[in-house]
Amino acid sequence: MKHTDPVDCILCRCHGEIDGVVDFGQLQKQLEDDSRLRSVSVGNALCLDGELESLAECAGGRRPGKVLIGACSFLARGDALIAGLENCGISRDRVFVADIREGCAWLHADRPGKATRKATDIVRMGMTALRHREVSADVNITVQPRVLVIGGGPAGMAAAVAAGRAGVAVDLVETSGQLGGMLNRLSRVAPGDRSAEAILTPLLEAIQAIPMIRVHTGTRVSEIRGSAGDFDVSLASKTGSARLSAGAVIVATGAKPVLPNGQYRYGQLSGVISGMELEKILKVDRSVGGNTVFIQCADVRNSKRPYCSAICCPAALKNAIRLKEIDPGAEVTIVHRDIMTPGHRLEADYRRATAAGGCFIRFAPENPPRIEGDNRVTGIRVTDILAGRERHLKADRVVLGTAVEPRIKTDRDDPVMTAIGLAADTHGFYRVQPFLHTVETDAAGVFVCGTARWPVMVDGAMAQGKAAAAKAMDLVAHPVRKASRLIGFQAVRFACARVSPTTCSGCGNCAAVCPYNACGLEKTEHGLRAAVNPVRCMGCGSCTAACPNGSISLPELGATAMVRMIENAFTAGNLTVSNALNGVADRSAPGCRDRRNGGVVNQ
Interface contacts to other proteins, rule CB under 8 A: 73, 75-76, 99, 101-104, 106-111, 114-115, 117-118, 121-122, 125, 421, 423, 425-426, 431, 434, 442, 489, 494-495, 513, 515-516, 538-542, 544-546, 554, 557, 559, 562-563, 565-567, 569-570, 585, 587-593, 595
Q: Please state, in angstroms and rounded to a whole number, the distance separating the CA atoms of residues 285 and 342.
A: 30
| Residue-by-residue DSSP string for 391-457 | EEEE-SEEEE---EE-S-SSGGG-HHHHHTT--B-SSSSBP--STT-SSB-SSTTEEE-GGGTS---
Smaller CB distance to other proteins: residue 443 or 469? 443
Smaller CB distance to other proteins: residue 291 or 441? 441
Smaller CB distance to other proteins: residue 364 or 512? 512
Give the distance between the most distant pair of CA atoms in the chain.
96
Residue 205: how many other CB atoms lie within 10 Å: 11
Minimum distance from CB of 233 to other proteins (Å)?
22
Q: Please state, in angstroms and rounded to a whole number, the distance separating the CA atoms of residues 288 and 267.
A: 21
Smaller CB distance to other proteins: residue 219 or 542? 542
Cα 503 → chain centroid: 34
Smaller CB distance to other proteins: residue 388 or 590? 590
Side-chain-facing half-sphere of 87: CA atoms under 13 Å: 10
Q: Please state, in angstroms and rounded to a whole number, the distance separating the CA atoms of residues 332 and 354.
A: 10
Strands (E), 533-593: 552-553
Three-class SS state of 116: helix
| Cβ–Cβ < 8 Å for 65, 38 | yes
Smaller CB distance to other proteins: residue 270 or 588? 588
Minimum distance from CB of 43 to other proteins (Å)?
21
Smaller CB distance to other proteins: residue 125 or 473? 125
Torsion sign, CA atoms 98, 101, 102, 106: positive
State which amino acid sits at residue 98.
A
Smaller CB distance to other proteins: residue 230 or 586? 586
| Residue-by-residue DSSP string for 335-370 | EES-----SHHHHHHHHHHHHTT-EEEE--TTS--E
Smaller CB distance to other proteins: residue 228 or 371? 228
State which amino acid sits at residue 229.
G
Smaller CB distance to other proteins: residue 66 or 118? 118
Minimum distance from CB of 432 to other proteins (Å)?
12
Minimum distance from CB of 541 to other proteins (Å)?
3
Three-class SS state of 531: strand
Q: Please state, in angstroms and rounded to a whole number, the distance separating the CA atoms of residues 99 and 270.
A: 71
Smaller CB distance to other proteins: residue 96 or 363? 96
Question: Which residues have CB under 8 Å from 480's CB, separation 6+?
Answer: 140, 141, 142, 143
What is the phi/psi pair of residue 83, to 5°? -65, -40
Minimum distance from CB of 483 to other proteins (Å)?
16
Smaller CB distance to other proteins: residue 14 or 382? 14
Minimum distance from CB of 418 to other proteins (Å)?
11
Minimum distance from CB of 566 to other proteins (Å)?
5
Minimum distance from CB of 444 to other proteins (Å)?
12
Three-class SS state of 315: helix
Minimum distance from CB of 371 to other proteins (Å)?
38
Residue 355: how many other CB atoms lie within 10 Å: 10
| Cβ–Cβ < 8 Å for 17, 73 | no
Minimum distance from CB of 592 to other proteins (Å)?
7
Smaller CB distance to other proteins: residue 116 or 333? 116
| Residue-by-residue DSSP string for 132-167 | T-------EEE--SEEEEE--SHHHHHHHHHHHHTT
DSSP state of 184: G
Closest CA to 449 of 226, 190, 147, 235: 147
Closest CA to 504 of 520, 488, 518, 491: 520
Question: Which residues have CB under 8 Å from 31's CB, separation 6+?
Answer: 9, 37, 40, 120, 123, 124
Closest CA to 136 of 487, 594, 600, 553: 553
Minimum distance from CB of 455 to other proteins (Å)?
19
Give the helix ranges, DSSP H, for 13-168.
24-32, 51-61, 79-87, 112-131, 154-165
Minimum distance from CB of 505 to other proteins (Å)?
15
Minimum distance from CB of 56 to other proteins (Å)?
24
State which amino acid sits at residue 455.
P
Minimum distance from CB of 131 to other proteins (Å)?
15
Smaller CB distance to other proteins: residue 142 or 490? 490
Smaller CB distance to other proteins: residue 301 or 593? 593
Minimum distance from CB of 424 to other proteins (Å)?
10
